[in-house]
Amino acid sequence: MNKLAIIGIGLIGGSFALALRRAGMVKHITGLGRSKKNLQQAQELGIIDEASADYETALEKTDLILLAMPVGQTTEILKKIKPFIGPKTIISDVGSTKQDVVTSARLLIPESFKNFVPAHPIAGAELSGANAANADLFVDKNIVLTPSDETNINSIEILSKLWQGCGAHILSMKPYQHDELLAMTSHLPHMLAFTFMNYIFSNSTKKNTESLLNFSGGGFRDFTRIAESSPEMWRDICLANRHLLLQQIRAYQNELAHMNELIEDGDGSALEKFFLKSQITRKRLLNNKN
């Protein structure tokens, strides 16, 4: 690939650039974004070859445009890039929600929609910005593609090969199926971590907060790690996938209410069965993955 343009040089966009550069699959990478400081840092780190604020120049003769900014900016960015998308240019994204992105692309870039290949790398960290980029981020991770019936097969194949060059495995599913699954496996767990940390804040004094970590083990750190994730990104994900996420939250509340009843009733036998079911489910999930 001769030219790649990435809009949003953060953890995902920056890691994609580094991985492709290491694999020798791209000759020139242009970075675009809101923060001049972040773009400058990306250039200094060798993630991109040039930083630009001019969409017309940056997107000229571009083979692939990767939308790697928070999903809430999708509509605005698609409007900006529409006049400068070449007839053979592939457009893709890395967002955690797919139905909203596909709907926006179909509406805003109809002439280029056949070359729009939505994607979501199931990889990440609580870090953000160009400094968080890691060429190994996608190694042995799954990349979910959610193409439409109209999507050009050649565009899908090209994007798939690029992600495979990053070390990733390709999966494909419908946008709704993706959003439903991610609401359970990613979006809900993040809501739990955010809510728990707000609970800690609301129910702690300065004195006991300072000593809190002295009385917390690895479970506390593991469970709350993702609460350091980007507030802007997760605001957008909540709003974009709110209906499916709310379904998961309500279902989880029912499970929590059931456990609460068991504790209130002092039903040790039922509590042990409740925890055993959880233990078996986790082991089964991990065994199936392996």
**Predicted TM-score (pTM) of this structure:** 0.90
| 142-145 and 119-121 strand pairing | antiparallel
Q: Is 219 exposed, middle or buried (0-12, 13-18, 19+ CB in 10 A)?
A: exposed
Of the candidate CATH numbers 1.20.140.70, 1.10.3660.10, 3.40.190.80, 3.40.50.10800, the domain formed by 177-289 belongs to: 1.10.3660.10
Domain boundaries, given as residue ranges, for the chain: 3-173, 177-289
DSSP 185: I
- Looking at domain 3-173, which CATH architecture does it have? 3-Layer(aba) Sandwich (3.40)
> Which string of DSSP letters, residue by residue, matches 138-173?
TTT-EEEE---TTS-HHHHHHHHHHHHHTT-EEEE-
Number of residues assigned to the chain: 290
The one-digit pLDDT tens for each residue of the chain (290 residues) are: 999 999 999 999 999 999 999 999 999 999 999 889 999 999 999 999 999 989 999 999 999 999 999 999 999 999 999 999 999 999 999 999 999 999 999 999 999 999 999 999 999 776 778 889 999 999 999 999 999 999 999 999 999 999 999 999 999 999 999 999 999 999 999 999 999 999 988 887 766 766 777 778 888 889 999 999 889 999 999 999 999 999 999 999 999 999 999 999 999 999 999 999 999 999 999 888 76
